[in-house]
Amino acid sequence: MKQAVVDMTNKKVGELELEDQVFGSKPNKAVIYEAVKMYRANKRLGTHSTLTTKMVSGTTAKMYRQKGTGRARHGSAKAHIFVGGGIAFGPHPRDYSYTLPRKVRQTALLSALALKYREGKLLIVDDLPLTEIKTKKMVEILSGFGVRTGLIVLNDHNEKVLKSSRNIPGIKVVKHDSLNALDLMSREHVVFLKSALVELQEGWKR
């Protein structure tokens, strides 16, 4: 499989061979779903909390005497049946994170990459030689590619690209070794720098 390589103006400047091992697999949407669910769960803070009866601030005196009033027996006004009382079985801080086996995560990543290729949402850019940090320039480049929401994948840290992209809604910049299924599926396009894709494919050969 070959994919066109373009420059910053979206003009074709060459082609790159795509490895079947990376882009040729049949997308497994069930595995992608499980991986996306895991990554989202791992982002949850789990800081929700409610007060139980013993946590509610208030008097500990008995509401009224036990017998002789004709009313139901009650002790604390902090019981969960009263307004202002504690919450029964309410949420408390917890850790939602969990992990999937490494091979499952890898399968999800390869499936997401293959899906982007099949959908025609994969772009390979020869280079992004920005001369200055300029959001407007990056918006123009991405608009020329037809990208509204996308993942820009770099080989090495590129401060100009990173800072020029960080204020653009729907755009995220990552290194090739930080790719995951959630980032890929959360955005319409994936834009690889040629060097990043070459390095990514070499990594899967090892």
Q: What is the pLDDT of residue 158?
A: 86
Residue in the structure block whose two tokens are 């029964």: 88
Q: Return d(Cα 160, Cα 89) in angstroms, integer.
A: 51
Report the C-alpha gap between 107 and 112 in whole angstroms.
9
Q: Which residues contact 4 (CB under 8 A, 6 or more apart)?
A: 12, 14, 15, 124
- Band (pLDDT 50/70/90 cuts) for residue 50 is very high
Pairing of strands 2-6, 171-175: unpaired
pLDDT in tens, 72-112: 999 999 999 999 999 999 999 999 999 999 999 999 999 99
Residue 25 has pLDDT above 90, yes or no: no
pLDDT for 157 equals 85
165-192 per-position pLDDT tens digit? 999 999 999 999 999 999 999 999 999 9
Burial 125-154 (b: 16+ CB within 10 A, else e): bbebebeeeeeebbbebbeebebeebbbbb
Mean pLDDT of 144-163: 92
* Cα pseudo-dihedral 111, 112, 117, 121, rounded to 10: 170
pLDDT tier for residue 206 given thresholds of 50, 70 and 90? low
Per-domain boundaries in the chain: 2-29+100-205, 52-93
* Whole-prediction pTM: 0.83
CB neighbours of 103 closer than 8 A, spacing ≥ 6? none
Structure token pair of residue 98: 């969990």
Choose the CATH number for 2-29+100-205 among 2.60.120.10, 3.30.230.10, 3.40.1370.10, 3.90.45.10.
3.40.1370.10
**pLDDT score, position 204:** 82
